Structure 1
Amino acid sequence: MITYKSTITAAFVIASAVVISCNHPKAATPDDNGSLDSIIRNATTAPVTIENETDFIKLNGKIQANEDHQAKVYALASGKIKSVNVALGDKVQKGQTLAVLQSMEVAGNSNDLTLAESNVALTKKNLESTKDLYEGSLATERDYMSAKVDYNKALSELNRAKEVQAITGGKNATYELKAPLTGYVIERNITNNSEVRQDNSNPLFTVADLNSVWVIANVYESDISHIHLGDTVTVTTLANPATAYTGKIDKIYNVLDPATRTMKVRISMPNPNADFMPEMFVTVKVNGKATAGMLSIPSQAIVLDDSKNFVIVKDPTGLHIKEIQLIKRVDSKAYIQGLKVGDQVVTNSQVFIYQALSE
């Protein structure tokens, strides 16, 4: 067994003894002291095998709030935060005040409403007076019609001011941000005394009803043909791996991520006991069969470098770096392309060896 100290020493010797081209790393060869021979002889390896079909497909995913049961809260007026009444994770009731702003815009809207109400009262009195004069032949019809127009304009302006007040809310210079639904605060982007602009694209709060959540899982490209709408799944969490939750795939996002070569699926899960929380990692097992006859190696043999996957292959001539294509991982196994059955891949100290061979 190679110790940590001997591994470091071996990696240094390899780096000193091996010349690697930029695009085609060469096999490692023994040095004069035989140290490289020692690391080669003691490297633990595992063979590349062909795995038979499995009776389920394993996916990785995470919990997200149900977008149909959440609301993002924005400020409809600019101002300064006077107080924030809730913290991240708090449960709130519909209509509960989340934060209070001091706003010149709200003060201006309140002033417009007061002026509009005064103008309506004034023009109404003027209309009544002009009507009496018109009926007594002391005012012309034109005067009477002009008074009517002024009164209708005042009413229109009052209605506009009321609608603005109803949309923005607030009274005098105070504007309250209220919870649009009962749920949990899963996002908060303000603090006391911070400035808020009406055109801010980020929500100040996000409130979600977590009685129902979404599980968003990633499907490897090789498994896409085995995934169907309505497939039964079991979901487990890192927080409670002993408990399995049953659900069904209710949406397939028919878009492939070019970076990860995966497609997303959604499982809607009831959450009455708050077992699931947003951003929680989960494992999803889909009843079905994976592709048969795939090359398999231990997951620990893979070295990730610059978004590419590599392994160290040991053969009679030495150690070699080989790039592989990762199809998927299932527990401790990785299904790959780029090797052949019987190849021996290094499963210990492979990162140190890879670094030495790559220099």
Structure 2
Amino acid sequence: MKKIAITIVVLLLVALTRWLEHNNNVVTQVVAEPQRSNKEQILLTESQSKFVKVKPVIDYDFQANKEAVGSIAFNDLKTIQVFPNYAGKIHRIFVKLGDTVKVGQPLYAIDSPDLLQAESTLIASAATKELSSKALVRAQALFKLKAMAEKDYQQAISDQQTAEGAYQSAINNLKIFGKTDTEIQLMIKNKKADPELIVRSPINGQVITFNNPAPGAYVQPGTPPAPMAVSDITSKWMIANVAESDISTIKLGQSVDVKVPSLKDLHFKGVVSSIGAQVDINTHSVLVRSDISDESNSLIPGMLSYFTITTGNLKGFPAVPFESVVRQGDGTLTVWVTGNGRLFEKRQVTIGLQQGGNYQILSGLHSGEMVATQGAVFVSHAYDMSTE
């Protein structure tokens, strides 16, 4: 009987030991797995928490921006249609479409009857001046010898002064045609008129239009089309269509930031220079023109572009890094809030502007709260796994 009792006690002890071992394994498994409650919380293990970084919600000053789509264009205010000053037939062409030119560089030349007449007048006046000057020298010598009447001497002086005036007038006329002093003196020396009138670039820039200026074509000043046009390529326009609901926030002189999709790594700065006077009844938008600095000549007219303009400042809004916000399968945006770096609570948020690597938080968070940044997606995934 005593042996039976001892046997029963031993069996009970063995059973108790196995039961305790089983419960210990269960506890170990539970601790090893993240914990959650009905508040959409998850408790990470120490090893899991090492994959997550937390930062406080900060106050951030956002800029209120407006965006619009447009295109690049040449700056018409810095584009010159290069007409000749006088009528004539094109004789030679020195440049081609797309060439970069300097101020004063020859573009094309015409045979001008007006220039030929002016040069002939100069040659004649130069000869008259020379003769009258020699006559005056002789008259002075004779007058000193009292071999010439005073009235004849005064007439010689008058003739020389008249010839000098006509000569200077002829020189000034040729300078209007663009002739230099060197060219004028060479013409007088050779006594040969040259009807070729060279038309030069009035500015530094690029030849942007080439209206078939073939040799022999007759051109006149101010009669379109001009043989060619030159534009200052360091300045471009961006023509944007701004929605009429936004136009009240756009002001002359405001700074704009321009992005061109085809030039991904480049940003361009500009200033609003013109706001349209009427709304397009079809698109309900207003044309806004901005002057864009383009010293590198990277912008090509016609390029699709986007502009961003700052219309105000929004100070002190709660903000979190982009990586803190996790988009759920139903489209809602959430962050994971923590107090100790291990227990995280899911919080739905509403975001606004996106600037400087931060989301503007319109609702759901307050400044100073700690949220997961790097590893926020990991926390969300761990929570989803724990709910399956």
* TM-score class, shorter: 0.5 to 0.7
Q: What corresponds to 2:201 in structure 1?
A: 179
Are 1:163 and 2:155 an aligned pair? no
Deviation at 1:146, TM superposition (A): 1.9
Change (3 A) 1:93 1:244: closer
Change (3 A) 1:114 1:187: same
Q: What corresponds to 2:150 in structure 1?
A: 141
Instruction: Report matched runs for 1:159-308 at 5 Å.
Output: 159-169=168-178, 172-189=194-211, 190-237=213-260, 239-240=262-263, 242-243=264-265, 245-253=267-275, 255-256=277-278, 263-288=286-311
Q: What corresponds to 1:63 in structure 2?
A: 72
Unaligned runs of 5+ in 1: 1-53, 290-359
TM-score using structure 2 length = 0.53
Q: What corresponds to 1:91 in structure 2?
A: 100
Tell me the distance in 2 between the aligned counterparts of 1:111 and 1:67: 39
Unaligned runs of 5+ in 2: 1-62, 180-192, 313-388
Number of aligned positions between the proteins: 235
Q: What corresponds to 2:163 in structure 1?
A: 154
Which deviates more from structure 2 when the two are superposed, residues 188-197 or residues 117-126?
188-197
Tell me the distance in 2 between the aligned counterparts of 1:216 and 1:133: 78
**SS in structure 1 opposite 2:156?**
helix
* 8 A Cα contact 2:270 2:293, kept in partner: no
Deviation at 1:255, TM superposition (A): 2.8
* 8 A Cα contact 1:60 1:284, kept in partner: yes
Change (3 A) 1:199 1:185: closer
Letter of the 2:250 partner, please give it: I
Greater Rg by CA = 2
* 8 A Cα contact 2:256 2:272, kept in partner: no
Deviation at 1:114, TM superposition (A): 0.5
Deviation at 1:197, TM superposition (A): 2.1
**SS in structure 1 opposite 2:67?**
strand
What do the CA deviations read for 1:122-171 (whole angstroms, capped 9, x no partner)?
Answer: 11112222222222223232222222222112111111111111111366
Tell me the distance in 2 between the aligned counterparts of 1:263 and 1:71: 27
Give identity over the alignment, percent. 25
Are 1:124 and 2:133 an aligned pair? yes
Instruction: Report matched runs for 1:21-100 at 5 Å.
Output: 56-66=65-75, 69-100=78-109
**SS in structure 2 opposite 1:154?**
helix
Q: What corresponds to 1:16 in structure 2?
A: none
Deviation at 1:60, TM superposition (A): 3.4
Please report the RMSD computed on the Cα atoms of aligned residues, expressed in angstroms.
2.9
Change (3 A) 1:125 1:275: same
TM-score using structure 1 length = 0.57
Tell me the distance in 2 between the aligned counterparts of 1:258 and 1:265: 12
Tell me the distance in 1 between the aligned counterparts of 2:85 and 2:94: 18
Which deviates more from structure 2 when the two are superposed, residues 248-257 or residues 185-194?
248-257
What do the CA deviations read for 1:309-347 (whole angstroms, capped 9, x no partner)?
Answer: xxxxxxxxxxxxxxxxxxxxxxxxxxxxxxxxxxxxxxx
Instruction: Report matched runs for 1:337-348 at 5 Å.
Output: none
**SS in structure 2 opposite 1:282?**
strand
Tell me the distance in 1 between the aligned counterparts of 2:240 and 2:260: 13
Deviation at 1:82, TM superposition (A): 1.8
Which deviates more from structure 2 when the two are superposed, residues 205-214 or residues 279-288?
279-288
Q: What corresponds to 2:40 in structure 1?
A: none
Runs of 4+ in 1 over 4 A off after TM superposition: 67-70, 257-264
What do the CA deviations read for 1:78-127 (whole angstroms, capped 9, x no partner)?
Answer: 22112222222112233332112222222222111111100110111122
Tell me the distance in 1 between the aligned counterparts of 2:238 and 2:269: 10
Letter of the 2:149 partner, please give it: T
Tell me the distance in 1 between the aligned counterparts of 2:281 and 2:198: 43
Letter of the 2:202 partner, please give it: P
Tell me the distance in 1 between the aligned counterparts of 2:306 and 2:88: 44
Deviation at 1:258, TM superposition (A): 6.6
* 8 A Cα contact 2:256 2:308, kept in partner: yes
Deviation at 1:210, TM superposition (A): 1.2
**SS in structure 2 opposite 1:131?**
helix
Change (3 A) 1:248 1:77: closer
Letter of the 2:134 partner, please give it: K
Tell me the distance in 1 between the aligned counterparts of 2:148 and 2:95: 62
* 8 A Cα contact 1:228 1:249, kept in partner: no
Letter of the 1:173 partner, please give it: P
